[in-house]
């Protein structure tokens, strides 16, 4: 079993921690400002939101390999993944670059593409998905 911790102060990285030994593994670079993480229901993929880059980065939990970053709206800060693992919803805590307000962005995790942001209100902070 592995836990994962984000760190923006060390150049933007995720650090895997082996629970059985209590030891940190080699850091995985993920951009400049990782803010939150979510794990797919299967446990195979970790998604890391990068607030500064406006994207999320998938990471294989088995190998630590990163996939291509996925656009996730402005200032993605929180992620919730549907129980089937095919869609993540990302809370965007920032004004859209085109002035459209604050949104939740759906991300298709099988195609690594984002959908049209859903306007919700000022500063959506946390997001959760009911099964």
pLDDT value of residue 90: 93
pTM to 2 decimal places: 0.88
Please give the structure tokens belonging to residue 62.
Answer: 């088995």
HSE at residue 16, side-chain half, CA atoms within 13 A, is 18
The 10s digit of each residue's pLDDT in 64-99 is 999 999 999 888 889 999 999 999 999 988 765 555
Where do the domains of the chain lie?
2-119
- Nearest CA to 79 out of 8, 70, 24, 61 is that of 70
The 10s digit of each residue's pLDDT in 27-64 is 999 988 898 999 999 999 999 999 888 899 999 999 99
More confident residue, 124 or 74: 74
92 and 75 Cβ atoms separated by less than 8 Å: yes
Confidence of residue 14 (pLDDT cuts 50, 70, 90): very high
Q: Which fold has domain 2-119?
A: Methylamine Dehydrogenase; Chain H (2.130.10)
38 and 46 Cβ atoms separated by less than 8 Å: yes
Q: What is the spatial distance between Cα 70 and Cα 77, in angstroms, rounded to a whole number?
A: 14
């Amino acid at each position: 079993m592995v836990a994962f911790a984000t760190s923006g102060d060390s150049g933007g990285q995720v650090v895997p921690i082996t629970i059985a030994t209590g030891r940190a593994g080699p850091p995985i670079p993920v951009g400049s400002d990782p803010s939150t993480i979510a794990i797919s229901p299967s446990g195979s993929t970790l998604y890391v939101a990068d607030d500064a880059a406006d994207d999320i980065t998938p990471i294989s939990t088995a190998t630590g390999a990163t996939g291509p970053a996925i656009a996730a709206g402005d200032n993605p800060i929180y992620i919730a993944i549907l129980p089937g693992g095919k869609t993540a919803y990302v809370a965007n805590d920032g004004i859209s670059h085109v002035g459209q307000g604050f949104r939740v962005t759906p991300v298709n995790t099988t195609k690594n593409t984002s959908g049209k942001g859903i306007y919700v209100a000022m500063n959506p902070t946390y997001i959760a998905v009911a099964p």
